[in-house]
Amino acid sequence: MAKIVVFTGAGISAESGISTFRDKDGLWENYKIEEICTAGCLNTKRDETIKFYDLRRKDCENKKPNYSHLELVKLEKEYPNDVKIITQNIDDLFEKAGSTSVLHLHGFLKEIYCEKCNFKINISYDSLKTLYNECPKCYSFMRPNIVFFNEEAPKYEDLYKEMLDCEFIIVIGTSGNVISIDNFIRNPHSRIKKSILNNLKKSSAINDRLYNKVLYKKASESIDEIIFDIKEYINK
């Protein structure tokens, strides 16, 4: 496991033009989470939920990775054993930047899977409604490969494993409302010795006093300093 974990959220893709969730004009201002992206919503509001993710997929198609994605992927390629990029994002901007090993904790927009047999398909930017309603293997319903609120997130196990060896955590662009990185830092068994927090502004769900360095500015304006610190840590 890598000793340096870069933990990212919607803020890192904001400068590529993808809406965050909880900022002003964020996605949750326009949609009701409890109706469309919550466990059970495929039974109660199936069309709305499918449409919501069809729109997200289309929206992603022309979005380009920004400077932060590109610099982080460059670093990941240079130090594959030392650096792990983890994201809560479902977009493919790290992949567009060239990564093949980013850990997506909340699913991946381009994928759909069968509710019954778990068969998975990459539909790229297509729409689920018109293309693959039924599983080609067992004819059950296909659904977006997205972890909804109150659903289990299978990849959290990988997150916990990664955090066991983490010595240096860099948090970029997350409000901390869904996953509390603070808890990993506070954990008495944690190996974390160094930490950086980079968000646009303070979040009520993150205790910034826990972090060694706090950068409240755009990711693109922070990333050079972050990369410098990471390289310094690796080469120390």
What is the set of active-site residues?
106
Which of the listed partners (ligand APR, Zn ion, none) does 11 bind, with a CB threshold of 5 to 8 Å by partner kind?
A: ligand APR
Shortest distance (Å) from residue 53 CB to Zn ion: 19
Q: Which of residues 138-197 bind ligand APR (CB under 6 A)?
A: 173-175, 177-178
Residue 11 in the binding site for ligand APR (CB under 6 A)? yes
Residue 138 in the binding site for Zn ion (CB under 5 A)? yes
Which of the listed partners (ligand APR, Zn ion, none) does 175 bind, with a CB threshold of 5 to 8 Å by partner kind?
A: ligand APR
Residue 120 in the binding site for Zn ion (CB under 5 A)? no
Residue 10 in the binding site for ligand APR (CB under 6 A)? yes
Which of the listed partners (ligand APR, Zn ion, none) does 22 bind, with a CB threshold of 5 to 8 Å by partner kind?
A: ligand APR
Cα-trace Rg, the chain: 18
Considering only 20, 99, 145, 195, the residue that binds ligand APR (CB under 6 A) is 20
Point out which residues bind ligand APR (CB under 6 A): 9-11, 14-15, 20-23, 26, 88, 106, 173-175, 177-178, 198-201, 203, 218-219
